[in-house]
Chain A
């Protein structure tokens, strides 16, 4: 069984702030990590390989050259191979172009099961996984919280919904996007860390894919960022002054007037 796990390197924190005076991003000292949901995707792939007693897990990422570090970390957890899609031609990809590019790479690598985190914490779109499935013309199940069974070319999983969960059966190949409840990602072993140092990360460029160059990167992206801005302050804001006692008194008076309490 061939398993491909799509991962993304993201800033380590949601605390990337905006400086209100200069209207620019403040990101001093922010390290890069594997997107936390993708850690659960990697763990799921490893557990499937272990349960089957055979097969390979390939981690695939698209990004700048330093995204290789994310793949080395995945190797330290025990995956078999890391593939890095890196090329200037991929820069500026939105979710459509990202999914298109990843799908082309997966066609090249081959996969029975593709696993993605439900979303990346920097973009939070949750779109790339289902879009990859569409480009590959295979079924997908999103928000997988448990894998009930995997055998004979079919898989049964639990899909998290707002009011509970659905038990969904799918044929293979299939793409799954996974949530945190699915598992606890393992820590890298010492042996894994050694392997990560020595691992050869396979690099793929646009020319290695059977892809339409007009569908890659910024040019292939249907959406564009027009501008970015800091959220505006409310105009009717009231700052309460005085001692702590006085502030609370004022607040209770205001709230009582609004019939909030």
Chain B
């Protein structure tokens, strides 16, 4: 495939130049030209007002062969015998996809107890593939990748979902590579294309300032990871029944071994992800002085303090406070964004918050697009009033 400019239609308006994330479009003799920098990302395809840019597919290109599959699978991650919350969230998303497809929802569970399998059924799974082998109690990439790949090849699910946790992000890519299929990281929404039946995988792209819908049209399974606290859990039904299929007598080998596991629970990290209220600052906080105000407000509200990548990169606050695509994902009852412009990279880390308050000088800031309540104003003026009034209300 390549991208072509129809020079008869091109008016030289240069609109397409801005659309290219790779600077691959140049103007030559008053017409747009696609240079060899083109990465075929197709970002320019729909921006031309004259419809002069199109993709040209080569005839008879062999490409990937169409695979087949049936059913939706969720990899149910456990650590120390406890099933990770993200697994139940994935069952919520997976149940919806399975219902649209009229298919079964299965969960794959390694190393945990039988109780875990029952819980997964009550949260919406029809079938559990459970391998209780002791070696799987502790996470190692190779045995996990090998066993999950084998099960997928035997049962051929159409869709496989996993948590974008340190475990999922480490071994799921190996599974996709081994099965020669596509994998989309950190999806923020999943749906089924009603016409083609393909999985529509939405994720942030190009540095997280824009969203992209990704397809895996030919190979199966279609694989996606989802970060914790992005999807909502389904309905818990204590009477729900399902089938548990025991997987045993598998040859499992590993060239890595976990010699020790050290718990280092950072109070703050837990705090942020479990906080009811978060006060967050961005570039607009201007420095440590701005963050001092945020801490004051947080103290008055009984909140935790978070930051955007911009503020962390500036060195105003430590990385462990960072919320966003490269930081933590949070979902508090109330998220107060102060001086945060709202790059998608940040939004994907906090947009599942119940109530979002945005305080920003710039009325055009994208943070207002996700806000429940917006205040256009200088945080150095707004926050002192906010702090005073909260203290008054609480009698502090």
Residues of A at under 8 Å CB distance from B?
10-11, 13-20, 22-27, 64-66, 88, 91-92, 94-96, 99-100, 119, 121-131, 133-135, 138-143, 156, 159-171, 174, 180, 214, 217-234, 236-240, 244-245, 247-249, 251-252, 254-255, 258, 260-261
- 21 contacts across the A-B interface (CB closer than 8 A): A15-B343, A16-B21, A22-B19, A25-B19, A27-B23, A88-B36, A91-B40, A92-B40, A92-B41, A96-B177, A126-B169, A130-B171, A139-B141, A164-B261, A222-B176, A227-B213, A228-B206, A231-B211, A239-B373, A245-B385, A249-B389
Closest beta carbon of chain A to B199's beta carbon, Å: 10
- Interface pair B19/A234, CB less than 8 Å apart: no
Residue of A nearest to B19 (CB): A24
- Interface pair A238/B141, CB less than 8 Å apart: no
For residue A22, which residues in chain B have a CB less than 8 angstroms away from its CB? Answer: 15, 18-19, 47
Q: A139-B142, A223-B184 are in contact. Are A156 and B259 (CB under 8 A)?
A: yes
Q: Does B112 belong to the interface (CB within 8 Å)? A: no
Closest beta carbon of chain B to A65's beta carbon, Å: 8
Picked from B139, B174, B184, B186, the residue with its CB within 8 Å of the CB of A133 is B174
- Interface pair A134/B173, CB less than 8 Å apart: yes
Query: In whole angstroms, what is the CA distance A128 to B185 when docked?
Result: 11
Cβ < 8 Å to A, chain B residues 221-259: 254-259
Picked from A218, A226, A251, A254, the residue with its CB within 8 Å of the CB of B215 is A226
- Interface pair A121/B207, CB less than 8 Å apart: yes
* Stretch from B58-66, B97-105, B119-127, B152-160 that touches the partner: B58-66
- Interface pair A164/B264, CB less than 8 Å apart: yes
- Interface pair A260/B277, CB less than 8 Å apart: yes
- Interface pair A218/B182, CB less than 8 Å apart: no
Residue of B nearest to A26 (CB): B18
Q: How large is the interface on B (under 10, 10 to 19, 20 to 34, 35 or more residues)?
A: 35 or more
Picked from A99, A222, A239, the residue with its CB within 8 Å of the CB of B374 is A239
- Interface pair A248/B382, CB less than 8 Å apart: yes
* Stretch from B4-12, B88-96, B288-296, B364-372 that touches the partner: B364-372
Picked from B145, B205, B261, B373, the residue with its CB within 8 Å of the CB of A254 is B373
For residue A244, which residues in chain B have a CB less than 8 angstroms away from its CB? Answer: 377, 381-382, 385
Closest beta carbon of chain B to A190's beta carbon, Å: 27
Q: Does B68 belong to the interface (CB within 8 Å)? A: no
Query: In whole angstroms, what is the CA distance A22 to B15 when docked?
Result: 9
- 0/1 per residue, B173-200, Cβ < 8 Å to A? 1101110111111100000000000001
For residue A261, which residues in chain B have a CB less than 8 angstroms away from its CB? Answer: 277, 301, 334, 390, 393
- Sorted from nearest, which 3 A-B pairs have the closest CB atoms? A222-B182, A92-B40, A223-B182
19 new A-B pairs (CB below 8 Å) besides A164-B264, A252-B393, A258-B355?
A13-B207, A14-B209, A17-B209, A20-B364, A22-B19, A64-B22, A125-B185, A127-B169, A128-B173, A163-B79, A166-B258, A166-B260, A166-B262, A168-B259, A221-B182, A225-B212, A226-B200, A249-B389, A251-B375
Q: Does B396 belong to the interface (CB within 8 Å)? A: no
- Interface pair B215/A168, CB less than 8 Å apart: no
Q: A14-B345, A162-B165 are in contact. Are A225 and B209 (CB under 8 A)?
A: no
- Interface pair B258/A251, CB less than 8 Å apart: no
Picked from B211, B326, B333, the residue with its CB within 8 Å of the CB of A124 is B326
- Interface pair A124/B185, CB less than 8 Å apart: yes
Query: In whole angstroms, what is the CA distance A220 to B61 when docked?
Result: 11
Picked from B167, B207, B257, B347, the residue with its CB within 8 Å of the CB of A11 is B207
Q: A131-B173, A218-B1, A227-B212 are in contact. Are A24 and B47 (CB under 8 A)?
A: yes
Query: In whole angstroms, what is the CA distance A82 to B209 when docked?
Result: 31
Query: In whole angstroms, what is the CA distance A227 to B218 when docked?
Result: 17
- Interface pair B375/A240, CB less than 8 Å apart: yes
Residue of B nearest to A164 (CB): B264
Query: In whole angstroms, what is the CA distance A248 to B338 when docked?
Result: 13
Q: Does B31 belong to the interface (CB within 8 Å)? A: no
- Interface pair B212/A25, CB less than 8 Å apart: no
Q: In the complex, which of the residues B46, B171, B200, B255 has the most CB atoms of chain A within 10 Å of its own CB atom?
A: B255
Picked from A126, A161, A255, the residue with its CB within 8 Å of the CB of B334 is A255
Q: Does B350 belong to the interface (CB within 8 Å)? A: no
